[in-house]
Chains A and B, each alone.
Chain A
Amino acid sequence: MADSKSKKSKFEKAPIIEPGHTYGSITDKISSIVLTKKIRKSWLIGFSFSFMLLMVFLGSTGYLLMKGTGIWGLNVPVSWGFAIINFVWWIGIGHAGTLISAILLLLRQDWRTSINRFAEAMTLFAVAAAGMFPLLHMGRPWLFYWLMPYPNTMALWPQFRSPLVWDVFAVSTYALVSLLFWYVGLVPDFATLRDRAKNRTAQIIYGTLAMGWRGSAVHWHRYETAYLLLAGLATPLVISVHTVVSFDFAMGITPGWHATIFPPYFVAGAVYAGFAMVLTLSIPLRKVYGLEDFITMRHLKNMAKVMLATGLIVAYGYMIEAFTAWYSGAEYEEYMILNRMTGPYKHLYWALILCNVIAPQFIWISKVQNSVIGLFIVAMFVNVGMWLERFVIVVTSLHRDFLPSSWDMYSGTIWDWATYIGTMGLFLTLLFVFIRLVPAISIFEMRTLVTDSEKES
């Protein structure tokens, strides 16, 4: 035993919470971000900027509703352009939240504690942004409820053989379970805020949200059970959502899409993109709010490692895509991959390889791994790379149809870009509102870390 203990000290990891914190100091530090009256200048600047982008979204959506989807660059043969690219990109980003909160909870990875709350929030907002694209692409978004099976007067029923219908159920289930998981995790913290708020309105709002939480032993017992059950429920969803999203492609007989590698390759890509986004958001967050004690270097490093691992799976996916195209001997598949690598979109393909395959390799270097800026830069590369990946998959397969007479080029119009950048505004605005109104780090779970670290020492 003594041996193993000394071994442990030799390879001691950075702590998940800086020493010296007590229950009180944790609660003070996290809840003060929300309960302070003063609005920080940095928050105001960030919020205004995001809100401006949100207005871009509303403007472009308004124009879209007025004119129809013809303002987008979609046309035969590329009838799936930015709408599906951005949908998959956002859904992918949303993956890290549930992975961190559910799977890492079941695997007892206690370092998840300080990042799960805002990763879950990020998931919700990313899913909201993702949902915009299929809705707007419908052309008549106000009839979206036709996607649901209900006894309507038209006697119409969704086509359950279509993966697009599976998508509706996969994504809405995911959004609902993520919301429940997030909310249930927030209940004890809402109670803390209710007890600490000085302002009557805040007391009533947080009190209502806390749903009568008193923190009794019975409450905690039920709470732990419910949270664990929800984690069990959410775990398969992490896998299923992006699997179903990949079916949108894999079920089609289009060269480059009709591949069995798609589900695992897409899930890995989603986790990859998700962790990149958590890094992108947590690095400025910890800096601005001085949360370096709670989101330590160890968190950043762990996330970077997950990113590297999933990045390697994604790289393997790219390799297998090329290999299968050659090995299949199917001329359309062969042509597709050659066109992807050397055709008119080749610069995007090689940029994607640079961002998604080469950039994360720098995480192997310990200097990069220990540098906040370095990790941030790698994460940004991955964010861009994952968008390029979806662009390459969607556009290169479609733009050279089976009939050369229908070949065409695709590019997004200004409205495509405005809608895309606009959803970033939606995402960021929601995120800024969240940081201001809800504790961005789970207070009660951080408190348990204090006892745990005391026990260990």
Chain B
Amino acid sequence: MSQIFHPSTNAFAKATIFGGVFILGILVWALLTMERSSYFTQAKVVKDQPVPFSHKHHVAQLGLDCRYCHTSVEESNFAGIPSTKTCMACHSQIHTNAEILEPVRASWRSGESLQWTRVHDLPDFVYFDHSIHVKKGIGCESCHGPVGEMALTWREHSLNMEWCLECHDNPEQFVRPREFVFTMDWKPTGDSETMRNELAKLYEVESLTNCSVCHR
């Protein structure tokens, strides 16, 4: 009777024992890494927009306040997308013939809204309110990143739940004085930890991690 297996199968069998563990480990690691990559989360990925609007130009170079366009951020859960009228307040005077602004003028003529692509689109099962975050002294840039550097807008963070909880577990570390909420590239002066703790007390900042705070 001939041998069923070639002697080399011994080595192969041993390799599978170690290989199995490593391959499994690498597979789990790869899956967890992939889940957090910008390919999956779309963080730091620029979205196509009808008009190549530059936050860098308007915020950093011209010094517009966030609230000039995002008017409802202090009162509402939704920060608000500016109407064409807001754009035309300036652009009826400057760059009136710029080709890239043609969609804005077209919208102005027809009365039909511009169809912006949403950059921060939370799933429907999550409730989020801008106004409470602003009132508790959380700066725009804490979540939206250095908007003043974005020639085209991208989403700075993954919006994964673990990212939300990073702050919700210890919100004191991100608190700033209310007057600096809309400031870009803000750095605390002096003893920042005491200041933050005092502010957290003053604004009654709480660590809210109950499921139904956001999943209502």
Contacts and interface: CB of A to CB of B under 8 A. Distances in A.
B4 interface: yes
A153 B160 contact: yes
Given A151-B32, A153-B36, A212-B10, A204 B162 contact: no
A204 B166 CA distance: 54
A375 B162 CA distance: 58
A211 B4 CA distance: 12
A42 interface: no
Nearest to A211: B13
Given A207-B4, A212-B13, A155 B32 contact: no
B161 A153 contact: yes
Contacts of B4: 194, 203-204, 207
- Sort chain B's interface into a size bin: 10 to 19
Contacts of B36: 153
Contacts of A204: 4-5
A107 interface: no
A212 B8 CA distance: 12
B2 to A, nearest CB: 10
A156 to B, nearest CB: 7
Contacts of B165: 155
Q: Is the interface of A mostly helix, strand, loop or mixed?
A: loop
Interface string A241-254: 00000000000000
Q: Is the interface of B mostly helix, strand, loop or mixed?
A: helix
B54 interface: no
Nearest to B35: A153
A328 interface: no
A143 interface: no
A152 interface: yes
Q: What are the 5 A-B residue pairs with the smallest beta carbon separation, nearest first?
A: A155-B162, A154-B161, A153-B160, A155-B165, A207-B4
Interface of A: 150-156, 194, 203-204, 207, 211-212
Given A155-B165, A203-B4, A204-B5, 11 more contacts: A150-B32, A152-B35, A152-B162, A153-B35, A154-B161, A155-B161, A156-B161, A194-B4, A204-B4, A207-B5, A212-B5
Interface of B: 4-5, 9-10, 13, 28, 32, 35-36, 158, 160-162, 165-166
16 contacts: A150-B28, A150-B32, A151-B32, A152-B32, A153-B36, A153-B160, A153-B161, A154-B161, A154-B162, A155-B161, A155-B166, A194-B4, A203-B4, A207-B5, A212-B5, A212-B10
